[in-house]
Every structure is written in C-alpha cells, then in structure tokens.
Amino acid sequence: MRFYREMCREPGSPLVQISNRNEEREQCDITRNVRVQQLELKKKHCKGPLPNNVHTGECQQYQSLEMSEMKIGLNLRDNCIMLKNWNICCVENILSITGKIRLLLRNFLNKADFCDVGVPSFKLGIYKCSGLEKKCELVPVKEVAHKCFECLSADCLLQIM
C-alpha cells in the first residue's frame, strides 16, 4: 500500500492521481534492470487443501512465498493476486510438488469496474470482485502478474493491483 500512498501527492482525488502517475511512468522510457527471480518458501504446514490428484506425501505445503517483488501468503493480507491472463484469485495453498512451486487458487466469478471518475477504474487496476469459484485450480508461480490488495466494501471486494 505504500506504493499507492507515494503515488498520491495531495489528499484529494486519489484515483485521478494514481492514473496520472501511471501515465507519467508510461511516457518515460525507463529501462529497468532485469533481475533473476528469487523465490523463498516459508512456514511449512499440513492443513491443506490439496488438489484431488496430489496426495500429502507427494508435496510440501507452505504458508508463504517471498519473491523479489512481492510476498504471497495464505492470510487475508497476502492471498489475493492477479494472473497474467487477468484472472483475480485468492490463494488457498502454496505447494512444492517435485521441486516446482505451484499455487492452489480460487478465481473470482465476477469482476467489474468499481467506479468511473473520468477514467474507468479498471484502467487504474481497481476492480469490484465478488463470488469465488468452488473449484480450486493449480497454477505455476510464474503465471502471477501482480499482487492485489483487498478493500472490503458493502457487498464485495475491491481489488487494487
């Protein structure tokens, strides 16, 4: 969330300011150093859930995964992500299966604009999400695009990338 606070220079109109900062970044041709992704699994557990085709003896379960640019965990603070295919998901479990890191996810069924303040909120990475699928999906960690932050609203979750 510090990232978003830094993008807002004045107290009023935070969505417009975030949009302006994103546009400024796109206009600047900044070349970033390419870093090798560091992955660190932490806090083993055996609580599940597990996919139907994977048994407890075939994998190790973890409560958190620290990457060079984000932390993904099973707690409410760290369990929401966006995949490269634009699906927004909740992480149900973090698994190491034969040395490969996989995330057990449940996708949100509904994703819509939260508001329109001259710019649709989806262009700012803010979505109104509701309803999780009952079925879990096993996904390689390389499919993660962004971490999302959940803000509880009256009847839904707001996902902020």
Spatial separation of the C-alpha atoms in residues 78 and 28, rounded to whole Å: 30
CA distance 156 to 110: 10
pTM of the model: 0.69
Which of 73-77, 90-94, 155-159 shows the lowest per-residue confidence on average (mean pLDDT)? 155-159
pLDDT score for 51: 83
The span from the CA of 88 to the CA of 70, in Å, is 16
Which contacts (CB < 8 Å, 24+ apart) does range 91-96 have? 92/49, 92/136, 93/48, 93/49, 93/50, 93/61, 94/41, 94/61, 94/62, 94/63, 94/64, 94/65, 95/50, 95/54, 95/59, 95/60, 95/61, 95/62, 95/138, 96/41, 96/59, 96/60, 96/62
Domain ranges of the chain: 1-34, 36-160
Q: Select the more confidently predicted residue: 160 or 30.
A: 160
Place 138 in a pLDDT band, splitting at 50, 70 and 90: very high
